[in-house]
Structure 1
Amino acid sequence: MSMADITQANQTQGTQTSRARKANENLVKRFFRATEIDTRLLGMVGALIIIWLGFQVMTGGLFLTPRNLWNLTVQTSSVAVMATGMVLVIVTRNIDLSVGSVLGFCGMIMGVLQAQVLPQYLGLGHPAIWAITLACGIAVGAAIGALHGSIIAFLNVPSFIVTLGGLLVWRGATWFVTSGQTVAPMDTTFRLMGGGTQGSIGATASWVVGVLACIAIIGAVLNSRRQRKRFGFPLRPVWAEYFLTILGCALVLGAVSVANHYYWPINIARRYADANSIAWPDGGLQIPHGIAVPVLVAIVVGIVMTFIATRLRFGRYVFALGGNPEAAELAGIKTRWVTVKIFMLMGVLCAIAAAISTARLNAATNAQGELDELYTIAAAVIGGTSLAGGVGTIAGAMIGALVMQSLQSGMVLLGIDTPFQRIVVGVVLVTAVWLDTVYRARAK
C-alpha cells in the first residue's frame, strides 16, 4: 500500500471517528459545539440571573425594576472600565493594586483643573474645559502607568510590590493636591459622563443605538462566516448563526427597552415642562432616561479593548507573554515594552473611570476610588481571568463587574451593613479563584 493510500485511509478513519463521536453526543453538547458559546461565560450569566432572581424575591420585587437596573449599570461603569485593563495585567501574570488610588488621584487632578485652574484662563462654562480636563487626566493616568510598568519591566521589581507602593503613594498624593479638601462642583458638560437625568441620551437616540448595535451584530456574524469560508475553517450550522444573531439582538433591544422605561423624577420633569412651556398632562409627563452616557462609555471601552486583545498584534503578544514568558522572549517579542504598554493602558483606563466617578459624584474627594482595586481584580477573576496567566476575556470581566455590583446593590436594598457586604465580596472572590483552579485542573 502506498503512502498516499495510508494517508487517505487515516483521513477516512478520522472522519468516521469524528462522526461517531458527534453521533454519541447528547443534545446539550451538540448545541454548545454548534453555537461555540463559551461555557464559562454562560456560567457567569447563569450566576448573574440567579443573583437577580434571588434579590428580586428577597426585596419584594424592588430589584428587577427599570430604575434599579438603570442605576445598576451606571454604578458598574467605572469598575467595568478598569476591569477590561486588569484582564491584560493579570493575563501577563502581573497584578495592579493601585487602580483605586490612581483613580482618586486622576479624579482630583481633573477636579482641580475644571473647578479652579481652567476657569481663570478660559472663563466659567467654557466649552473646552471638559475636553482639556479629560485629556489632562488621561495623560496623567498614562504617565503613572508608564512609571509603574517601567519599574516592573526594567528594574525587575515585582508588580505586587510596585503597585502596592503606588496604592499608598497616589492616595497620599491625592490628599496633598488640595490638602484634603473636596473640590466641587464640576463643569456642566463634564457632568454628563456621570449619568443622571441630563447624562442620558433619551428614548429616540437609545433606539437608534440599539438598531445600530443589531446591525453590527448581524454584520459580525456574516463577516465571521465569510472569513471561515475564506480560510477553510469549519462553519457553524446555519441555525446556530440565526440563533446567535437573534439572541444578541434580543438582548440589546431588551436592554434599550428597560432603559427607556425608567422615567425622569416628577419634580425634574415638572421643572423641565415649566422651563419649556409644556402643558402638564393629567397623568404627569413621562420622559424616558434612555441609555446613560457612562454606560455607553463603558461599552465603547469594552469594544475597543476586545479589539485590542483579539485583533491586534499587541493583544497576541500579551497572551503569548502570559502563556509562556520565556518562549515569548525567545520568539523576539519585546516583553519589557509590552509590560510597560499594558500598565500605561491600565493608567488610561483608570483616568477614564475617574472621569465617570467624578462626574457622577459632581465632586473630587480624597476617598474616591477606595477599595476599587478589590472590586476590579474581583471582577476580572470572577469573569474567568486566570491568576496563573494566559487566560481571560474582556466580556467576562465586564460581566464580572456587573455581578459584583449586583451583589452590592442587592445587599443595599436589603439594608445589609457595609462590613458584611465586604465579607460577601471577599467570600465570592475566594470562591471564584477556587472554581478557576478546579476548572483548570479538569481541563488538563
Structure 2
Amino acid sequence: MANITQSSSGHPRSAEGNAFTRFLRATEIDTRLLGMVAALLVIWIGFHLYTGGLFLTPRNLWNLSVQTTEIAVLATGMVLVIVTRNIDLSIGSMLGLVAMIMGVIQAKFLPQYLGFDNSWTWLITLVCGLIAGTLIGLFQGVIIAFLGVPSFIVTLGGFLAWRGLAWYVTSGQTVAPLDTTFRIMGGGAEGSVGATWSWIIGLVACVLIIVGIIGSRHQRKRFNFPRRPLWAEYFLAILGCALVLGAIWVSTIYYWPVAIAKKYAEANGIAWPETGLFISYGIAVPVLIAVLVGIVMTFIATRLRFGRYVFAIGGNPEAAELAGIKTRWVAVRIFALMGFLAAVAAAISTARLNAAANSQGTTYELYTIAAAVIGGTSLAGGTGTIAGAMLGALVMQSLQSGMGLANVDTPIQNVVVGAVLVVAVWLDTVYRSRSK
C-alpha cells in the first residue's frame, strides 16, 4: 500500500520533508519555475545596483515589458515545436518577410485605392500578414511531415530563403511611415490603454484568477482528486492578484514625456497647468496581445485534444502513431501555428518601429529557442509549458536590457546569450537525469 493516502476531506497528507518542501508540495509550485523567478530577481537586482538605480524604474520596466512581447509570442509556439522533437530556425527570417509584406501593403499598395490612414488599412494589412505567415509555416510543415526532410534542414533553408525574399520585396529599402491605427499595436503613448483601463483590466484579471482557483478545486472534488490545503489556495490567489496589481501599478506611474503631453493637450484643447500634465501610459497594447496569446496557447496546449496529441508525440512518437494519432498532420498544424505567431510578432515589431526593414527578426530564432529552453522545454521532447517559455523570454530580454544599460558591447551580449543557452540545456539534462 502506498505510504501517502488521502484523508476523508480530500486533502493529501503532509509529505515528509522540510518545511520548504512541504510548502512546495502543498502549493504545487513548479520548482523549475521558482528557480527562473529567483534567477530573474537576481538579474534585476544585480543590474539595478550595477547601473546606479536605472534598471528597476517604471520607465525601464515598462519598456522591458514591450520589448519582451515579440520573443514571448514566438516562444509560445516554439514550445510546441520543441516538444515534438523538432526545431524552427526560420522564425526570425519569417518575421522579417511578413513584416516587409505588411509594410508594403499599408504604405504602398492600399493607399492607391483607399488613401492613407483609412480605417480599414490596419485590418486588411494584419489579415494579409497573418495569412502569409500561416502559409509559410504550412509550407515548411508539409515538407517536414510528408517529404521526411528533418525540421533542422527545412527551417535552416527557410532561415536563408525568407530573409532573401524579404530583401527582394523592396530591394532592401526600409518602408515607412505606417498606418496610424496599425502603430497602436507597437505601444508608445498612443499604444497604451491608460491608467483607468489598466486598473479595470487588472481587477478583471484578479477575479479570473480567483474564479480559476475555485473552479479547479471544484473539479478536483468532483473527480475525487487530492486538493490543495485551503491556506495554499488562499496563498496562490493572493500571490497572483498581488503580481497582477503590482504590474498595473508600475505601468500607471510611468507618465508621458512633457513634449508628447503638451502636443496632446494642444490637440484636445486642454489648458496646460503650471505643474504640468501627468498622463499615465498604463498597460501597453503589445503586452495585452502577448498575454492573450499566452492564454490561448496555454488553453490549446492543456485543454484541447490537439495539445494532448502534441505532448503524446513528443513523449513517444511510435506509441502515438500506433495509438491512431495522425502525427504528420499534427506536425503540419504546429508549423502553421508557428507561422501564424511569427506574423503576430511581425505586426508588433513593425508597429513598434513604425517601419518595415529587412533586418527585422535578426537573431530572434536564437532568443526564442533560448527562452523556451530556459522556460523548461526539454530538447528531448515531451516536456514544456507556455508560461515557462514566456518567463524565459522575460529573462532573456532582461539580460539584453540590463547589458544595454550597462553599456556592454553587442558582441559580448551575444556571448552571454550563447552561454546562457548552453547552461540552460545543461541544467535540463541534469534535471531529467535526476528525475528518472
Shift of 1:173: 0.3
| Counterpart Cα distance in 1 of 2:87 and 2:205 | 33
* Residue of structure 2 aligned with 1:272, choices 249, 264, 271: 264
* Residue of structure 1 aligned with 2:250, choices 258, 262, 265: 258
Instruction: Summarize the Cα distance change of 1:434–1:267 in structure 2 as closer, same or farther, 3 Å threshold.
Output: same
Report if aligned partners of 2:12, 2:226 keep a CA contact under 8 Å in 1.
Answer: no
* Residue of structure 2 aligned with 1:116, choices 95, 100, 108: 108
| Counterpart Cα distance in 2 of 1:37 and 1:328 | 29
Q: Please name the residue that 2:157 is paired with.
A: 165
| Counterpart Cα distance in 1 of 2:158 and 2:62 | 33
Q: Please name the residue that 1:241 is paired with.
A: 233
Aligned length: 433
Does 2:102 align with 1:90? no
Instruction: Summarize the Cα distance change of 1:16–1:411 in structure 2 as closer, same or farther, 3 Å threshold.
Output: closer
Q: Please name the residue that 1:346 is paired with.
A: 338
Amino acid at match of 1:139: I
* Residue of structure 2 aligned with 1:335, choices 312, 327, 330: 327
Amino acid at match of 2:48: Q
| Counterpart Cα distance in 1 of 2:6 and 2:321 | 41
1:261-410 equivalences under 5 Å are 261-410=253-402
Q: Please name the residue that 2:147 is paired with.
A: 155
Amino acid at match of 1:91: V
Q: Please name the residue that 1:7 is paired with.
A: none
| Counterpart Cα distance in 2 of 1:298 and 1:24 | 40
Instruction: Summarize the Cα distance change of 1:25–1:277 in structure 2 as closer, same or farther, 3 Å threshold.
Output: same
Shift of 1:64: 0.2
Shift of 1:435: 0.5
| Counterpart Cα distance in 2 of 1:91 and 1:358 | 29
After the TM superposition, which of the residue ranges 419-428 and 23-32 deviates more from structure 2? 23-32
Amino acid at match of 1:182: T
Q: Please name the residue that 1:74 is paired with.
A: 66
CA displacement 1:276-311 (0-9 Å, x = unmatched): 222222221110000000000000000000000000
Shift of 1:271: 1.3
CA displacement 1:339-384 (0-9 Å, x = unmatched): 0000000000000000000000000001111100000101001101
CA displacement 1:190-231 (0-9 Å, x = unmatched): 000000000000000000100000010011001000100111
| Counterpart Cα distance in 2 of 1:317 and 1:99 | 23
Shift of 1:20: 12
Does 2:96 align with 1:104? yes
CA displacement 1:319-341 (0-9 Å, x = unmatched): 00000000000000000000000
| Counterpart Cα distance in 2 of 1:68 and 1:405 | 12
| Counterpart Cα distance in 1 of 2:357 and 2:71 | 17
* Residue of structure 2 aligned with 1:218, choices 201, 207, 210: 210
Percent of residue pairs bearing the same amino acid type: 72
Shift of 1:160: 0.2
Instruction: Report the secondary structure of 1:365's partner residue.
Output: coil
Does 2:27 align with 1:35? yes
Computing the radius of gyration over CA atoms, which structure comes out larger, 1 or 2? 1
| Counterpart Cα distance in 1 of 2:325 and 2:370 | 29
Shift of 1:25: 2.0
Amino acid at match of 2:17: E
Amino acid at match of 1:196: G
Does 2:42 align with 1:50? yes
Amino acid at match of 1:104: G
| Counterpart Cα distance in 2 of 1:105 and 1:255 | 33
* Residue of structure 2 aligned with 1:437, choices 426, 429, 434: 429
Structure 1 segments of 4+ aligned residues over 4 angstroms from their partners: none
Amino acid at match of 2:24: F
Amino acid at match of 1:186: L
| Counterpart Cα distance in 1 of 2:15 and 2:381 | 36
User: TM-score, normalising length from structure 2?
Assistant: 0.97
Amino acid at match of 2:366: L
| Counterpart Cα distance in 2 of 1:436 and 1:58 | 29
| Counterpart Cα distance in 2 of 1:369 and 1:442 | 37
Amino acid at match of 1:75: Q
CA displacement 1:378-418 (0-9 Å, x = unmatched): 10011010000000000000000000000000001011110
Shift of 1:423: 0.4
For the aligned residue pairs, the C-alpha RMSD in angstroms reads 1.5
Instruction: Summarize the Cα distance change of 1:249–1:121 in structure 2 as closer, same or farther, 3 Å threshold.
Output: same
Instruction: Summarize the Cα distance change of 1:16–1:418 in structure 2 as closer, same or farther, 3 Å threshold.
Output: closer
CA displacement 1:152-185 (0-9 Å, x = unmatched): 0000000000000000000000011111111001
Instruction: Report the secondary structure of 2:110's partner residue.
Output: helix
Amino acid at match of 1:213: A
Instruction: Summarize the Cα distance change of 1:23–1:138 in structure 2 as closer, same or farther, 3 Å threshold.
Output: closer
| Counterpart Cα distance in 2 of 1:76 and 1:15 | 44
| Counterpart Cα distance in 2 of 1:173 and 1:416 | 33
Instruction: Report the secondary structure of 2:376's partner residue.
Output: coil
Q: Please name the residue that 2:135 is paired with.
A: 143
1:411-430 equivalences under 5 Å are 411-430=403-422
Instruction: Summarize the Cα distance change of 1:16–1:425 in structure 2 as closer, same or farther, 3 Å threshold.
Output: closer
Instruction: Summarize the Cα distance change of 1:23–1:70 in structure 2 as closer, same or farther, 3 Å threshold.
Output: closer
| Counterpart Cα distance in 2 of 1:85 and 1:193 | 20
Shift of 1:21: 8.5
Q: Please name the residue that 1:6 is paired with.
A: none
